[in-house]
């Protein structure tokens, strides 16, 4: 099946066109036929298209909304004469659409075929993800109007992998009625990424799902850690929103909540402004005063010995280390620690600093293997005697979304 995977943000749309099938899954013979991104939707948009067997194209045009962006992509990839991809020459060659949906609340515990009830459910979660869910719904509606009601669409939620967390992990210790009344609890995000790398780890180790006891750390511009027991997420570092937990590109991660009121008072800020500060001006950017980009910070530290760059990197690594320790305790030990995300996949230096002096916990990196594991490579970077194996596994959320889409569509033969 050819599955169009859509990840719609408020002003951006990322897509991949993936050929995959339940039968192919065992052999990992999926093919990415095209991928790309539309940025700055709502004004003069920038479009980057990568199609199989064709040179990359960068385009600019005014696109007013998600629908216009999707229409533009399809025109350029599928409908334009001469632009056809192998096996795809008409819209009818796209068999299903898989959407990344950020928040599924407590309602969606797995990926689902979208119908009017599911749409209502995603709408109900808007109050939990006011920026993301409306954009995701925009993508679903745009796809519906371009492809028609008959094309199956599937929602894959960032939160659903973490729906297996036990109460002691997802409840905040605030008055319990507030959880009942407002659903204030920890949900966790990045679930598709943690689930994908856990699945890949199982494949590499030849393990059953029930025997998968690992810690996964997704370190990119957004960062989160996940404790996985018997194949299920039992704890994760992001919470009610993606702000909690690790230090990120521009997000603070954990802070004492009293800082909010203190800051609002001292700096004369509204709570909305403090929230923006913690989400957009903190993390690596806030600490360094330079950039949210880890590669640039590492360059600054190495080339100019920049003190604030070093500080930002040190706080970042220390926080990850603390979560690894906490999750080793939560799991009663783990078989592996898996690094993924732009930083986790590419930076041997960050992996080294995180794993430094964790030998007592049974974590020992093999320096040469660690340095060699960059640029999309996959494998073990720990020593042969390390009790906890350390892996680098590049994430592929789009592939998991495409596979879930096929699974959901095939589970309902009426529709397929
Ligand atoms: P992501 O959000 O997963 O795309 O990750 C983006 C982050 O990965 C940015 O902070 C990049 O600087 C970082 N990154 C990518 N490549 C490297 C690298 N070779 N070394 C350090 N950080 C990197």
Q: What is the DSSP letter of 85?
A: B
Instruction: State pLDDT tens for residues 292-304.
Output: 999 999 999 999 9
pLDDT at res. 118: 97
pLDDT at res. 386: 97
Q: Please give the number of the atom of ligand 1 that sits closest to the Cα of 249.
A: 10
Instruction: State pLDDT tens for residues 395-410.
Output: 999 999 999 999 999 9
- The residue-averaged pLDDT of 142-156 equals 95
404 Cα–ligand 1 center, Å:
27
416 pLDDT more than 60? no
H/E run at residue 340? strand 336-340
50 pLDDT more than 60? yes
Q: Are 35 and 16 in contact (CB under 8 A)?
A: yes
25 pLDDT more than 60? no
- b (16+ CB within 10 A) / e for 74-97: bebbbeeeebebeebeeeeebbbb
Instruction: State pLDDT tens for residues 277-297.
Output: 999 999 999 999 999 999 999
Q: Which two tokens stand for residue 55?
A: 């040179």
219 Cα–ligand 1 center, Å:
8
Q: Are 326 and 348 in contact (CB under 8 A)?
A: no
- The residue-averaged pLDDT of 224-253 equals 98
What is the pLDDT confidence band of residue 87, given thresholds at 50, 70 and 90? confident
182 pLDDT more than 70? yes
pLDDT at res. 104: 97
28 pLDDT more than 90? no
Q: Please give the number of the atom of ligand 1 that sits closest to the Cα of 374.
A: 19
Give the contacts of 266 (CB within 8 A, at least 6 positions apart). Answer: none
- Does 158 participate in catalysis according to the annotation? yes
- The catalytically annotated residue of 158, 235, 306, 404 is 158
pLDDT at res. 54: 86
- The residue-averaged pLDDT of 103-119 equals 97
Tally of CA atoms within 13 A in the half-sphere of 222 that contains its CB = 15
- What is the residue-averaged pLDDT of the chain? 94
- The residue-averaged pLDDT of 181-192 equals 97
342 Cα–ligand 1 center, Å:
4
Closest CA to 137 of 65, 62, 71, 187: 65
246 Cα–ligand 1 center, Å:
15
Closest CA to 216 of 366, 48, 345, 338: 338
pLDDT at res. 24: 54
pLDDT at res. 170: 98
| Residues across the chain | 416
Q: Distance from first CA to last CA of the chain, Å, rounded?
A: 11
List, chain by chain if needed, residues with CB within 6 Å of any ligand 1 atom: 220-221, 249, 293-295, 298, 341-343, 346-347
Q: Please give the number of the atom of ligand 1 that sits closest to the Cα of 296.
A: 12
| Coil/strand/helix, residue 306 | coil
Going by alpha carbons, the residue nearest to atom 15 of ligand 1 is: 342
22 pLDDT more than 70? no
> What percent of the chain clears pLDDT 70, i.e. is strictly above it?
96
Going by alpha carbons, the residue nearest to atom 21 of ligand 1 is: 295
Dist CA 249 CA 220 (whole Å): 8
Tally of CA atoms within 13 A in the half-sphere of 311 that contains its CB = 11
């Amino acid at each position: 099946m050819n599955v169009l995977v859509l990840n719609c943000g408020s002003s951006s749309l990322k897509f991949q066109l993936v050929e995959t099938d339940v039968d192919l899954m065992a052999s990992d013979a999926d093919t990415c036929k095209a991928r790309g991104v539309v940025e700055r939707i709502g004004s003069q948009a920038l479009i980057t298209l990568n199609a199989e067997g064709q040179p990359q194209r960068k385009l600019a045009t005014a696109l007013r909304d998600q629908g216009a962006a999707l229409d533009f992509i399809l025109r350029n990839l599928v409908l334009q004469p001469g632009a056809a991809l192998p096996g795809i020459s008409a819209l009818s060659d796209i068999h299903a659409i898989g959407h990344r949906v950020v928040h599924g609340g407590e309602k969606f515990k797995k990926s689902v075929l979208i119908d009017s009830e599911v749409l209502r459910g995603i709408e109900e979660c808007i109050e939990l993800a006011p920026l993301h869910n409306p954009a995701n719904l925009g993508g679903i509606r745009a796809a519906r109007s371009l492809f028609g009601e008959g094309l199956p669409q599937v929602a894959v939620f960032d939160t659903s992998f973490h729906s297996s967390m036990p109460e002691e992990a997802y409840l905040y210790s605030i008055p319990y009625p507030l959880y009942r009344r407002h659903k204030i609890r920890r949900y966790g995000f990045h679930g598709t990424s943690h689930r994908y790398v856990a699945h890949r780890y199982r494949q590499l180790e030849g393990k059953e799902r029930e025997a998968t006891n690992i810690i996964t750390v997704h370190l990119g511009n957004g960062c989160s850690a996940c404790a996985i027991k018997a194949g299920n997420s039992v704890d994760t570092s992001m919470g009610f929103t993606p702000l909690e937990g690790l230090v990120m590109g521009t997000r603070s991660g954990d802070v004492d909540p009293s800082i909010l009121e203190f800051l609002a008072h001292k700096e004369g800020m509204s709570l909305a402004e403090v929230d923006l500060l913690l989400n957009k001006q903190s993390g690596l950017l806030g600490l360094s005063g330079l950039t949210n980009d880890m590669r640039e910070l590492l360059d600054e530290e190495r080339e100019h010995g920049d003190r604030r760059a070093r500080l930002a990197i040190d706080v970042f690594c220390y926080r990850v280390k603390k979560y690894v320790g906490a999750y080793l305790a939560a799991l009663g030990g783990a078989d592996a620690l898996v690094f993924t995300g732009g930083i986790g996949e590419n930076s041997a230096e960050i992996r080294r600093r995180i794993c430094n002096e964790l030998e007592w916990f049974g974590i020992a990196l093999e320096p040469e293997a660690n340095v060699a594991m960059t640029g999309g490579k996959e494998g073990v970077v720990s020593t042969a005697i390390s009790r906890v194996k350390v892996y680098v596994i590049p994430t592929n959320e789009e592939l998991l979304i495409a596979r879930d889409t096929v699974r959901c569509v095939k589970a309902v033969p009426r529709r397929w």
